[in-house]
């Protein structure tokens, strides 16, 4: 994208070379249209960033619930397509990946507490089927939740022995 300084320089160079009043008017008109589009684009970017922040807050507050792109979009008054598109543009990641990442980080944190059963952790992070949760966790981290917990607790135990 061309910088504003280059755009202005280009405008003045072009203006200097214009010979007729009609061409001058056309040049100024086109330049003002460009500036206007830049302003609108900038304001839309601010709004979309705010919308994504709101969506992230909703996700964070409802992580253990049955949430989806469409449920968040409905809550915000947007179409699923629009929310998906702005989420991808702002975050450089899809809504579903963001949701999965948040769920996996929370699951990992909850697995540090040996008193919470894996099936309860599954529900707390929004997976109603413990088997599906185990499958997603293993694909994400390369180990099952039980293996992660076992390794994590052994490392904690060893670190207290040193």
Whole-number pLDDT of residue 82:
92
Q: Quick one: angle between helices 95-111 and 80-91, nearest 10? A: 70
Whole-number pLDDT of residue 69:
95
| Domain stops at, among 92, 107, 128 | 92
Profile the chain (162 residues) by mean pLDDT over runs of 10 residues.
Answer: 69 80 79 67 69 92 91 94 90 92 94 95 95 97 95 63 47
87 and 143 part of one domain:
no
**CATH number of the domain residue 145 falls in:** 1.10.10.60
As for how many domains the chain has, the answer is 2
Q: What is the Cα–Cα distance from 106 to 87, expressed in whole angstroms? A: 21
**φ/ψ (deg, to 5) at 12:** -70, -35
84 and 124 part of one domain:
no
Each residue of 72-102: pLDDT tens digit?
999 999 999 999 999 988 888 899 999 999 9
Domain of residue 153, residue span: 98-161
Whole-number pLDDT of residue 157:
45
123 and 56 part of one domain:
no
134 and 80 part of one domain:
no
């Amino acid at each position: 994208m061309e910088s504003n300084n280059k755009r202005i320089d280009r405008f003045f160079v072009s203006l200097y070379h214009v010979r007729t009043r009609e061409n001058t008017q056309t040049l100024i008109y086109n330049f003002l249209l460009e500036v206007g589009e830049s302003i609108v684009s900038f304001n839309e970017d601010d709004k979309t960033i705010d919308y994504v922040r709101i969506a992230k807050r909703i996700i964070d507050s409802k992580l253990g619930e049955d949430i989806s792109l469409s449920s968040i979009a409905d809550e915000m008054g947007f179409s699923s397509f629009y929310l998906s598109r702005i989420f991808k543009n702002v975050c450089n990641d899809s809504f579903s990946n963001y949701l999965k990442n948040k769920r996996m980080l929370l699951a990992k944190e909850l697995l540090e507490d040996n008193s919470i059963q894996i099936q309860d952790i599954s529900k707390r992070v929004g997976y109603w089927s413990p088997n599906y949760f185990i499958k997603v966790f293993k694909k994400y981290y390369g180990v099952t939740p039980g293996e992660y917990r076992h390794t994590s607790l052994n490392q904690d135990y060893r670190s207290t022995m040193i």
